[in-house]
A and B are shown apart, each in its own frame.
Chain A
Amino acid sequence: MTAVRVALVGGLLSFRGLFSWLHPAIFVPTMVVPPLFQVLFFAYLGRAAELESDSFYVVGNSIQLAALPGLFAVSQAINGERKSQTLAPLLASPASRVALFLGRSLPVMAIGLGVSFASFGFGSAVLGVEVDAGVLPPLLATMTVTAFSCTALGIAHAAVGLRVREMAVFSNLVFAVLLVFCGVNVPLDDLPGWMGTVAQGLPVTHTVEAGRELLAGASLADVGGLLVTELAIGAAYLVLGLALLRYYERVARRRATLDLV
């Protein structure tokens, strides 16, 4: 019961305190406007290259955009503790680490889902992509799965942030990898083989494929395998992230570097 309270109440409070982009003056220019224009940019680029239809880019980019809060917000919500000098007391507490860090991740997933869905709606409306209303619930489920897997990747990447100080650079790099490798804007078949292989182990790849199949008329059951694969990938990154957090906590305690900023 305590762990649940730590996760839900503590997580929400910490997230609100540590995710400094929540203020509308920052949230809108980072989490609302750029995602919308990312969709438009790649859709128009696709038109210029005469490669795929608008719906290909709208679905691909809107699903990949779940990674935006997944990477940047989780990183801030965990590494912000160090900047505000509260990491040491937090880790000295007997609270469950899983509850602590998962609690901080739940609001991120909600934001990731919101960013994805808003980008999809905006892109479809502006570019005139026809979407059957029946597609929306399974698409929402697909985006939820993506938000989970990207947030799990975010936890693994935030754990590295306990050692690496330039997290903005690192977050941008990981975001770029997802953008290039996961078939978001270029079909996997048109990428070099090794990139396609790497993509199979990354979040986003399978849900982008699922999203496109849904828009092409597939049912949720048809794409169930892809969603399960994405969930498994997310779970693997979650385990990796929690293990890394534990490892870096031990190292930082041994070297007395926990609060170094």
Chain B
Amino acid sequence: MTRVVRVVAFGFLIHFKHLTRNPFDVMVTTIWPLVYASLAYFMFRAGSPPESLLIASIGATVMGIWSVTTVGAADAIQRQRWAGVLEVLVAAPTPFWTVLLPITIASSAIGIYSLASTLLWGRFLFGIPLELAQPIWFLVSIPPTIVSIGLLGFVMASVVVRFRAGWAVGNMFEYPVWIVTGLLIPVALLPAWAEPVSWALAPTWGMRALSDAAFSGGSPLFDIGMCVLLSAVYTLVGAVLLGRFLQSARRRATLSLT
């Protein structure tokens, strides 16, 4: 157990440092959400109440976290493949899921840049007041949001083990998850089937936790609990799927094919 925790903790630290030195990832997390935040500010500014601008800020933040996670996590295995270490990592006695999981969490963790850049962008360029009703709860909501989104990325990474263009698959899920999880668009506006789907996706609960904490509407405790619950489910599902797909790749001798 200690070994698993150590592998995950050090893996997270190393990959977080590595990703923060990648201009593409940093750009995606810091600038890309600003594009959508700006568009949302312009669109909502025309006729919506001021608090909707802060919600747009938070929504754009979570969008940024998902963007960097979906591409980064889906491409995580391919990066190991290109580096020529995938076979070694899979053959090592340490379970491979403990190697992959910190990579996907590190991908979502650099979304912290998105949080800072989007809130500051809204504050200084659009004059959106950063008045958080429950600042402590807001801070408490950030880690479970990031981890649960990272673990959703872990499930995605597990599924695309045998897919060489994993990043493209990740790219494909960017908009659909943005739409269905109600980050900028209220789920009530979507077709009825979208709401149950949104319950199974971590960004929904992360967004609710952050916006509940930002306003005095209610406690984000339930939403945080849902993030934790989904994190556990994603870890289990991801580990099982990863085992199956790796087994299949090993049987067909396709693991290292780039």
| B35 A25 Cβ-Cβ under 8 A | no
Bound state CA distance, A48 and B189, in angstroms? 7
Q: What chain B residues lie within 8 Å of A45 (beta carbons)?
A: 39-40, 43, 184-185
Interface size grouping (class) on chain B: 20 to 34
Q: What chain A residues lie within 8 Å of B163 (beta carbons)?
A: 25
Flag whether A135 is at the interface (Cβ < 8 A): no
Contact with B along A31-51 (1 / 0, CB 8 A): 001100110111011111111
| B35 A168 Cβ-Cβ under 8 A | no
| A190 B184 Cβ-Cβ under 8 A | no
| B189 A176 Cβ-Cβ under 8 A | no
- Considering only CB atoms, which chain A residue lies closest to B35 in the complex? A176
A29 and B169 in contact (CB under 8 A), knowing A49-B44, A185-B43? yes
Q: What chain A residues lie within 8 Å of B168 (beta carbons)?
A: 21, 25-26, 29-30
Flag whether A132 is at the interface (Cβ < 8 A): no
CB within 8 A of B175: which of A37, A166, A172? A37
Bound state CA distance, A141 and B24, in angstroms? 35
- Considering only CB atoms, which chain A residue lies closest to B25 in the complex? A169
A29 and B165 in contact (CB under 8 A), knowing A41-B178, A49-B48? yes
CB within 8 A of A169: which of B24, B39, B40? B24
Bound state CA distance, A41 and B168, in angstroms? 19
Contact with B along A83-113 (1 / 0, CB 8 A): 0000000000000000000000000000000
Q: How many residues of A contact B (CB 8 A)?
A: 34
Bound state CA distance, A80 and B49, in angstroms? 48
Q: What chain B residues lie within 8 Å of A25 (beta carbons)?
A: 163-165, 168
For residues 151 through 193 of chain A, which have their beta carbon under 8 Å from a beta carbon of chain B? 166, 168-169, 172-173, 176, 179-180, 185-186, 190-191
| B189 A47 Cβ-Cβ under 8 A | yes
| B171 A29 Cβ-Cβ under 8 A | yes
Bound state CA distance, A179 and B175, in angstroms? 15
Flag whether B38 is at the interface (Cβ < 8 A): yes
Q: What chain A residues lie within 8 Å of B31 (beta carbons)?
A: 173, 176
CB of B58, distance to nearest CB on chain A (Å): 14
| B47 A172 Cβ-Cβ under 8 A | no
Q: What chain A residues lie within 8 Å of B189 (beta carbons)?
A: 44, 47-48
Flag whether A254 is at the interface (Cβ < 8 A): no
A179 and B39 in contact (CB under 8 A), knowing A41-B178, A49-B46? yes
Bound state CA distance, A45 and B171, in angstroms? 20
Bound state CA distance, A47 and B191, in angstroms? 13
CB of B171, distance to nearest CB on chain A (Å): 6
Flag whether B23 is at the interface (Cβ < 8 A): yes
- Considering only CB atoms, which chain B residue lies closest to A165 in the complex? B23
Bound state CA distance, A34 and B70, in angstroms? 13
For residues 177 through 213 of chain A, which have their beta carbon under 8 Å from a beta carbon of chain B? 179-180, 185-186, 190-191
Flag whether B176 is at the interface (Cβ < 8 A): yes
- Considering only CB atoms, which chain A residue lies closest to B28 in the complex? A172
Q: What chain B residues lie within 8 Å of A37 (beta carbons)?
A: 174-176, 179
Flag whether B186 is at the interface (Cβ < 8 A): yes
Q: What chain B residues lie within 8 Å of A168 (beta carbons)?
A: 24
| B43 A46 Cβ-Cβ under 8 A | yes
Flag whether A255 is at the interface (Cβ < 8 A): no
Flag whether B190 is at the interface (Cβ < 8 A): yes
For residues 111 through 136 of chain A, which have their beta carbon under 8 Å from a beta carbon of chain B? none
Q: What chain B residues lie within 8 Å of A28 (beta carbons)?
A: 172
Q: What chain B residues lie within 8 Å of A180 (beta carbons)?
A: 35, 38-39
CB of A140, distance to nearest CB on chain B (Å): 25
| B175 A26 Cβ-Cβ under 8 A | no
| B32 A176 Cβ-Cβ under 8 A | yes
Q: What chain B residues lie within 8 Å of A191 (beta carbons)?
A: 42
Other 10 A-B pairs with CB < 8 A, given A21-B168, A51-B43: A26-B165, A28-B172, A30-B168, A37-B175, A40-B179, A41-B178, A41-B185, A44-B190, A172-B32, A180-B39
B residues sitting closer than 8 Å to A (CB atoms) are: 23-24, 27-28, 31-32, 35, 38-40, 42-48, 163-165, 168-169, 171-172, 174-176, 178-179, 184-186, 189-190
- 15 residue pairs of the A-B complex, CB under 8 angstroms, read A21-B168, A29-B171, A34-B172, A37-B175, A37-B176, A37-B179, A41-B179, A44-B189, A45-B39, A45-B43, A49-B43, A166-B23, A173-B31, A176-B35, A190-B45
Closest 9 CB pairs of A and B: A37-B175, A29-B172, A29-B168, A49-B43, A186-B42, A176-B35, A44-B185, A26-B168, A33-B172
